Amino acid sequence: MILSTRFANLTLLVSIAPLLHLAQAWPAVYPEPPPGPLEFDGTKLVNDAAHPWRPTQPGDTRGPCPALNTLASHGYLPRNGVATPKQLINAVMEGFNMNNKLAIFVTYAAMLVDGNLVTNLISIGSKTPRTGPNFHGAVSAGGLNTPGFGVEGDASLLRGDAYFGDNHSFNKTLWDEFVDYSNRFGGGYYNLTVAAELRHRAIQRSIATNPNFTLVAPRYFTAYAESALIIGAFLDGRNTDAERKIPMDVALGFFRDSRMPADFHRAAKPTGNDGVVEIFSAHPISPGGNVGGVDNYAPDPTSANLAQFCVLYENFVQKTVKRLYPNPTGVVRRNLILNLQYFYSGQPSVAGCTQLFPYGQL
């Protein structure tokens, strides 16, 4: 009798277990400092027995970044798509050999605009209760799918602009164009020449079709970076060809299925923005946007261009973050100060930007 009661309780516990995370109290987290570089930073098998691909479960979030989606589907990130900044940084370094500074810079940029600063969690896709409740005075903590804060944004290679409705699922039309450009400019592969032509094409499409098109920092930087990173992250690290090029089946696996090829090895050395300058130089365009309708692209001189890293940093802190959090108090202010500190530590060593303290110091 006692035994069966125990079993009954156990059954109840098991059946409500998935709901417990919603009911638990959410502690205010003190964000830990970002991890340093990898100890071993060469190539190695990353689609290994400890990181098998698995399909998503109901409630898992996936978003606009195929690299993060893939890391979640292979268990380098929590498979539900909700992570701490430290988990994100470790995952992009471990799985794709992204260099430590870039990993830190983009992770804290995303955290500051799309993360929950009290629970120290961010969704790699849409907003989910798994990042915790909206805290007092918070912006949306909406996850990476949130349009408008500029880390992700318009003129994406394989997604439509937010103007046309938020749509983060795989788009067959854009994929067909990706293949078409790879055939025309890369002999059937995605290489740097294809990257430059397709980047140009995506920008021209948005200029011609999206009256609200905007391409200013930080999106101006990430638009070029995402074009380049497809090669840096998805090229097998054992590749010894002089030509760096991605086969279409490999690209499709990452973009559509969030899946590494069998036997995939990460990059042979830490990777960053290699290729961005070549992609930009093929079809240079200033930061800007459509003004008052389609086909009306005007430069925006207040936006940082690719040569103005510190302007990017200053605008992001003083405009983007300050607009989201004009007068934070308590734990929100403390965590903003810490996240801004970590963000600043991810600037390239050569940048030498002056550190800003919009919320004072601890």
Ligand X SMILES: *[C@@H]1O[C@H](CO)[C@@H](O)[C@H](O)[C@H]1NC(C)=O
Residue 263 near ligand X by CB under 6 A? no
298/53 Cα distance (integer angstroms): 44
Per CB under 6 A, contacts with ligand X among 243-262 are 243
Ranges of H-type helices in 272-329: 276-282, 309-315, 322-324
What is the H or E stretch that residue 288 is in?
strand 288-290
Which one, 132 or 153, has the nearer CB to ligand X? 153
Query: At closest approach, how far in Å is the CB of 17 from ligand X?
Result: 28
Question: Strand pairing partners for 297?
Answer: 290
Q: What angle do CA 151, 235, 262 make, to 5 degrees?
A: 110
Which one, 87 or 182, has the nearer CB to ligand X? 182
Describe the crossing of helices 85-96 and 100-114 by its angle, rounded to 10 degrees. 140
Which one, 39 or 241, has the nearer CB to ligand X? 241
Instruction: Tell me the two tokens of residue 159.
Output: 């997604």
The region of 96-104, 183-191, 257-265, 348-356 touching ligand X under the rule CB under 6 A is 183-191
Query: At closest approach, how far in Å is the CB of 193 from ligand X?
Result: 4
Asked if 114 contacts 141 with a C-beta cutoff of 8 angstroms, the reply is yes
The region of 51-59, 71-79, 135-143, 167-175 touching ligand X under the rule CB under 6 A is 167-175
**Among residues 174, 294, 331, 356, the one that binds ligand X under rule CB under 6 A:** 174
Token pair 């990430």 is at which residue? 222
Residue 173 near ligand X by CB under 6 A? yes
Query: At closest approach, how far in Å is the CB of 293 from ligand X?
Result: 11
Distances from the Cα of 285 to the Cα of 7, 238, 261, 288, 315, angstroms? 67, 35, 35, 9, 20
Query: At closest approach, how far in Å is the CB of 177 from ligand X?
Result: 8
Per CB under 6 A, contacts with ligand X among 125-164 are 160, 163
> CB-based contacts of 168: which residues, under 8 Å, 6+ apart?
62, 63, 64, 125, 126, 145, 159
Query: At closest approach, how far in Å is the CB of 130 from ligand X?
Result: 18
Site string for ligand X, 195-234 (x = CB under 6 A): -----------------x----------------------
Token pair 């349009």 is at which residue? 147
Residue 240 near ligand X by CB under 6 A? no
Query: At closest approach, how far in Å is the CB of 172 from ligand X?
Result: 7
| Site for ligand X, rule CB under 6 A | 160, 163, 167-169, 171, 173-174, 186-187, 191-193, 212, 243
